[in-house]
Amino acid sequence: MDLFKRAKTIRLRSYKDKYLIAEDDQESVCQHRDGTTNNALWTVELVQGRDLLRIRSCYGRYLTASNVPFLPGVTGKKVIQTLPSKFDPATEWEPLRDGMQVRLRTLWGDFLRPNGGLPPWRNSVTHDIPHWHKSYNKILWDVEVVETFPVLHRTRSDSAFFRSRSSASSKTKADKFMSIR
C-alpha cells in the first residue's frame, strides 16, 4: 500500500510490457503497448480506513470487477469501467506488493489478470484466481507513478514548535520516571 500513498496518477504495465488501457467506449478495458496515451493514465483513490484503493480512468469511471463471464464456460470474468457509486465493493482493489510489483486483488479473492494468446483472449483483461503453478507471474503489474501529491514542508516556526513540545514532553516523562523510583 505504501507504493500508492503519494501516487496521484499511475500507469499499470503487465508482464508482457503492455499497459492497462481504458477503451474509448468508456466501458471496456484492454492492454496496449503504447503507454503514452491519456487512456493509459489511472487516478488512484485510497479508501479511508482500509488498505484498499479505487482506480479511476481518464473518463472518470472506476476499474470494476464485474460478475459477467468473459467467455461462456471460462472462469475469468470481465473487468470494466463503471460510473462512481457509493460503497460498491467491486471497484475496490487490494494491492499486494511483491518486490517492486503488485498484484491487485478483489474483495472476493480474484486477481486482475492480463490475458494473451489468440483472439478473443489477446489484449483482454479479466479477474479470476489463476492456477499458481502456471501463471503466478502473469498477475503481477509494474506500477509507474506518473504524478505524485506534493510533500508538505514544515516551516521554521513549525519545527521550533515541535522541538519545544518534544522537550517539554520528555521532561514530564523523566519526572514521571523519577517519581516512580
Question: Which is more confident, 103 or 166?
Answer: 103
Whether 1 is in a domain gets the answer no
Q: How many domains does the chain have?
A: 2
CA distance between the termini of the chain: 44
Write out pLDDT tens, residues 92-116.
999 999 988 999 999 999 999 999 8
Q: Residue 180's pLDDT is what?
A: 46
Structural domain including 167 reads 153-181
Write out pLDDT tens, residues 45-97.
999 899 999 999 999 999 999 999 999 888 899 999 999 887 789 999 999 99
Whether 172 is in a domain gets the answer yes
- CATH label of the domain that carries residue 97: 2.80.10.50
